[in-house]
């Protein structure tokens, strides 16, 4: 991993923090519960993945713990498009 | 009031119950489940074994979720279906009446026919009880021998390693999972296992499991070597749990045969999940899958049709994301072929369709431990496998599943040493953009 890559990761993370939420891909999820177990504020991320709903819980810190720990790539950050509503989304 | 009976509390059964409850709030729902732990994440057992999650986390549904389903649960085993009188006979001697019935009994590990296989300390990994047994044995075990292949064998190997047990992994042939992975991929996985301290034994077939006072003491291979151990784990594949259907005269092949509406040959009796051999509308073949998402989809379809709908199950391209020797791996579509000497038929987390390799040319590129292999058809991608870096996992899933025409980059992909990841990434971005434009009014 080079320096550029590292900065890009950091940038993505910061962007996610201000304008993103965690979105599940239900078809990949096997309900193992690693996401829920590792959520620092006990959001039931797994339930969201079962229902196919983004984690819109206002308490979500978008810390990325669940995204990083999911062994099956179920979760990803998606931009809320709060500042750019033209592209669809919310 | 319609009375729905579901046999089996895995994802197929639960998805059916959810669909039925949504379609018919007044329906009566009864679940017959012979697993004392009820509904839990079977794939999660791998992470329970490694210690990444505690047992409580294995249960996806809380009490409230279950209450919402208003489903009565009987912990019993169905022994026979009397489709004439519409009765399910139970092991306890009682029977339950049904109007609509779903068989979602799943699959069980195939057992090994070796001298000594009945000894205490010979284990498999089907259910939570098995996982608990492995953990209990691992606490005292110094060494273990794992036999078999596919995902389950590695789940056990890694669980045992995480618990500090010296682990011998016996392979019959010269490489791991030879009918899904190619040689390089097998080597990558094997190398990582060795780095984790797993002892690999190639060309090794167990002749006998040795024991003393009814307990495992070691194994003897066919070429006469002895490996001392206190635990032998067997993961040589699974078999659909079809004895109920067989006894009830329901039409069978490798699993219970169902049409695209998940109907069996018996009236108002459906089957879904690992037990079902499902008719695929797109290929005209009936195949077995042992995957979470198709099980859930099939259960949902069955539930919809049990409550009066007429919805076909449209098989999607089989894919799985799993961890092999701590390396995240995505398997999509047709990637391998033939038989694997370590497995009998299908394994858990497996699909028969992965080995239906049509005319395709393989293109591959490696970068460190990351590997990407594409099965390139005439106009589309037929399959893909990613080890390590998962950046393209979702993109490839879509490109394969939606049979996207890749003619424009086909030649580029097939050039020797082509930068596959880059070509696919660029192609995908453009395809998404064009799709977005096409959707605009």
pLDDT tens digits for range B329-374: 999 988 887 777 887 777 787 888 777 655 666 677 765 568 899 9
Whether B144 and B255 map to the same domain: the answer is no
Give the single-character DSSP code of A79.
E
In a domain, B116, yes or no: no
Q: pLDDT tens, B370-392?
A: 889 999 988 999 999 999 888 88
B321 in Cβ contact with A28 (< 8 Å) = yes
Chain B residues near any Cβ of chain A (below 8 Å) = 11, 41-44, 46-47, 52-54, 57-60, 65, 292-293, 316, 321-323, 328, 330, 390, 393-394
In SS3 terms, chain B reads as CCEEEEECCCHHHHHHHHHHHHHCCCCEEEEEECCCCCCCCCCCHHHHHHCCCCHHHHCCCCHHHHHHHCEEEEECCEEEEECCCCEEEECCCCEEECCEEEECCCEEECCCCCECCCCECEECCCCHHHHHHHHHHHHHCCEEEEEECHHHHHHHHHHHHHCCCEEEEECCCCCCCCCCCCHHHHHHHHHHHHHCCCEEECCCCEEEEEEECCEEEEEEECCCCEEECCEEEEECCEEECCHHHHHCCCCECCCEEECCCCECCCCCEEECHHHEEEECCCCCCEECECCHHHHHHHHHHHHHHHCCCCCCCCCCCCEEEEEECCEEEEEEECCCCCCCCCCCCCCCCCEHHHHCCCCCEEEEEEECCEEEEEEECCCCEEEEEEECCCCCHHHHHHHHHCCCCCHHHHHHHHCCCCCHHHHHHHHHHHHHHHHHHHHCC
How does the average pLDDT of chain B come out, rounded?
A: 92
What average pLDDT does this structure show over B288-311? 96
**Residues of chain B with pLDDT > 70: what percent?**
97
Q: Are B333 and B354 in contact (CB under 8 A)?
A: yes
Q: Is residue A15 within a helix (H) or strand (E), and if so which, with residue range?
A: helix A3-19
The reported pLDDT for the residue numbered A2 is: 64
**Same domain, yes or no: B364 and B287:** no
**Among A34, A36, A73, beta carbon nearest to B390:** A73
Distance (Å, whole) CA B215 – CA B181: 35
pTM: 0.89
Residue with the two structure tokens 């994440």 = B41
Q: Is position B117 within any domain? A: no
Q: Given B47, B321, B322, which is nearest A34 (Cβ)?
A: B47
The alpha carbon of residue B338 is apart from the nearest alpha carbon of chain A, in Å, by 26
Indicate if B173 and B102 belong to the same structural domain: no
Tokens in use for A61?
């810190």
- Domain of residue A76 covers 21-81
Question: Same structural domain for residues B355 and B334?
Answer: yes
Q: From B306, B330, B347, give the residue that closes a domain.
A: B306
d(CA B303, CA B298): 8
pLDDT tens, position by position, A10-22: 666 566 556 678 9
Euclidean distance between CA atoms B331 and B259, whole angstroms: 26
- Tell me the chain A residues in contact with residue B321 when contact means C-beta distances shorter than 8 Å: 28, 71-73
Number of domains in chain A: 1
Q: Is residue A46 part of a domain?
A: yes
B258, B281, B306 - which closes a domain: B306
Indicate whether A68 belongs to any domain.
yes
Residues B28 and B58 in one domain: yes
Q: Given an 8 Å threshold on Cβ–Cβ distance, is B292 in contact with A32?
A: no
Which residue in this structure is represented by tokens 């292999």? B373
What tokens were used for B370? 């990351």
Please report the pLDDT score of residue A61 as a whole number: 86
Residues B374, B294 share a domain: no
Q: Establish if A40 belongs to a structural domain.
A: yes
Please state, for a pLDDT cut of 90, what percent of chain B lies above it.
77
The predicted-structure confidence for B171-225, as pLDDT tens digits, reads as follows: 999 999 998 999 989 999 999 999 999 999 999 999 999 999 999 999 999 999 9
In angstroms, the CA B217 to CA B233 distance is 13
Q: What would the pLDDT profile of B216-270 be if each residue is shown by its tens digit?
A: 999 999 999 999 999 999 999 999 999 999 999 999 999 999 999 999 999 999 9
- Same domain, yes or no, for B208 and B175? yes
Confirm whether A88 is domain-assigned.
Answer: no
From A62-76, B137-151, B231-245, the region with the lowest mean pLDDT:
A62-76
Number of cross-chain residue pairs from A and B with Cβ atoms under 8 Å apart: 63
Q: Is residue B297 part of a domain?
A: yes
Please tell me which residue, B30 or B113, carries the higher pLDDT value: B30
Domain harbouring A52, CATH code: 3.30.70.20
Nearest CA in chain B to A49: B60
Q: Which residues span the domain enclosing B188?
A: 122-236
How do residues B255-280 score in pLDDT, each as one tens digit? 999 999 999 999 999 999 999 999 98
- Give B441's pLDDT tier (boundaries 50, 70, 90): low
- Find the mean pLDDT for residues B2-31: 97
Q: Do B60 and A71 touch (CB under 8 A)?
A: no
Asked whether the predicted pLDDT for residue A89 surpasses 50, the reply is: no
Write the CATH number for B128: 3.50.50.60
Whole-number pLDDT of residue B334: 83
pLDDT at B42: 96
Identify from B60, B369, B395 which residue to disrupt to test chain A contact, counting A C-beta atoms within 10 A and taking the largest count: B60
The answer to whether the Cβ–Cβ distance between A34 and B330 falls below 8 Å is: no
User: How does pLDDT run across B77-114, given as a tens digit for each residue?
Assistant: 999 999 999 999 999 999 999 999 999 999 999 999 89
- Confirm whether A12 is domain-assigned: no
Q: In sequence order, what are the residues at sequence separation of 6 or more whose Cβ sits closer than 8 angstroms to the Cβ of residue B66?
A: none
The answer to the question of residue A14 being in a domain is no
Instruction: Name the domain boundary from B249, B279, B306.
Output: B306
Residue A7 falls inside a structural domain: no
Distance from CA of B328 to the nearest CA of A (A): 7
Q: Which of B29-33, B292-296, B368-372 has the lowest mean pLDDT?
A: B368-372
Q: Which 3 state secondary structure label does DSSP give A80?
A: coil
B231 and B147 in one domain? yes
- pLDDT over 50 (residue B47): yes
The answer to whether residues B265 and B349 belong to one domain is no
Residues B103 and B60 in one domain: yes
User: Do residues B339 and B266 share a domain?
Assistant: no
If phi over 0 gives left and psi between -120 and 50 gives alpha, with beta otherwise, what is residue A2? beta
* Closest approach of B394 to chain A, Cα-based (Å): 9
Q: Is pLDDT at B300 greater than 80 in this prediction?
A: yes
Q: Would residue B43 count as lying in a domain?
A: yes
How high is the ipTM of this complex?
0.88
Is residue B313 a part of any domain in this protein? no
Confidence of residue A88 (pLDDT cuts 50, 70, 90): very low
**Mutation target vs B (from A33, A45, A70; most B CBs, 10 A cutoff):** A33
Same domain assignment for residues B71 and B127 = no
- Number of domains chain B is built from: 3
In what helix (H) or strand (E) does residue A89 lie, and over which residues does it extend? none
What the block records as the tokens of B331 is 């398997």
Choose the closest CB to A34 out of B53, B328, B393: B53
Chain B nearest CA to A35, separation (Å): 10
Residue B228 lies in a domain: yes
């Amino acid at each position: 991993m080079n320096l550029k890559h590292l900065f890009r990761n950091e940038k993505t993370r910061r962007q996610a923090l201000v304008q993103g939420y965690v979105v599940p891909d239900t078809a990949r999820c096997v309900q193992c519960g690693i996401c829920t177990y590792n959520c620092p504020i006990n959001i039931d991320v797994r339930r969201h993945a079962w229902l196919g709903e983004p984690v819109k819980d206002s308490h979500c810190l978008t810390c990325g713990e669940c995204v990083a720990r999911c062994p099956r790539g179920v979760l990803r950050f998606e931009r809320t498009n709060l500042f750019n509503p033209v592209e669809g989304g919310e | 009031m319609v009375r729905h009976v579901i046999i089996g509390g895995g994802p197929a059964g639960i998805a059916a119950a959810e669909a039925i409850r949504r379609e018919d709030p007044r329906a009566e729902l009864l679940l017959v489940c012979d697993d004392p732990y009820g509904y839990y994440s079977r794939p999660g057992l791998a992470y329970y074994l490694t210690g990444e999650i505690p047992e409580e986390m294995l249960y996806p549904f809380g009490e409230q979720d279950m209450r919402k389903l208003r489903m009565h649960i009987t912990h019993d085993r169905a022994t026979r279906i009397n489709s004439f009188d519409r009765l399910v006979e139970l092991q306890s001697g009682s029977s339950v009446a049904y109007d609509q019935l779903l068989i979602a009994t799943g699959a069980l590990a195939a057992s090994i026919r070796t001298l000594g296989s009945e000894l205490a300390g010979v284990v498999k990994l089907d259910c939570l009880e098995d996982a608990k047994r492995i953990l209990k044995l691992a606490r005292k075990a110094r060494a273990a021998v794992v036999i078999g292949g596919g995902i389950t064998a590695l789940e056990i190997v890694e669980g045992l390693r995480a618990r500090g047990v010296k682990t011998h992994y016996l392979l019959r042939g010269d490489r791991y999972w030879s009918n899904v992975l190619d040689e390089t991929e097998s080597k990558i996985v094997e190398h990582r296992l060795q780095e984790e301290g797993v002892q690999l034994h190639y060309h090794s077939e167990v002749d006998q499991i040795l024991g003393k006072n009814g307990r495992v003491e070691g194994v003897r291979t066919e070429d006469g070597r002895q490996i001392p151990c206190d635990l032998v784990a067997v993961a040589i594949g699974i078999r659909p749990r079809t004895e109920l259907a067989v006894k009830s005269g329901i039409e069978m092949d490798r699993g219970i045969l169902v049409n695209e509406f998940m109907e069996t040959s018996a009236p108002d009796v459906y089957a879904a999940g690992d037990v079902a051999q499902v008719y695929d509308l797109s290929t005209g073949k009936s195949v077995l899958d042992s995957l979470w998402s198709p099980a859930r989809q099939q259960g949902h379809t069955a539930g919809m049709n049990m409550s009066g709908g007429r919805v076909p199950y449209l098989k999607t391209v089989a894919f799985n994301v799993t961890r092999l020797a701590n390396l995240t791996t995505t398997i999509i579509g047709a990637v391998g072929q033939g038989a694997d000497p370590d497995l009998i038929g299908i394994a858990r987390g497996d699909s028969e369709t992965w080995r239906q390799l049509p005319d395709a040319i393989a293109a591959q590129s490696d970068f460190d431990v990351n590997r990407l292999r594409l099965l390139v058809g005439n106009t589309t991608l037929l399959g893909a496998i990613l080890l390590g870096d998962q950046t393209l996992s979702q993109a490839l899933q879509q490109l394969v599943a939606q049979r996207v025409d890749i003619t424009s980059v086909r030649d580029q992909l097939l050039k020797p040493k082509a930068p596959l990841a880059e070509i696919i990434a660029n192609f995908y971005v453009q395809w998404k953009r064009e799709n977005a434009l096409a959707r605009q009014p």
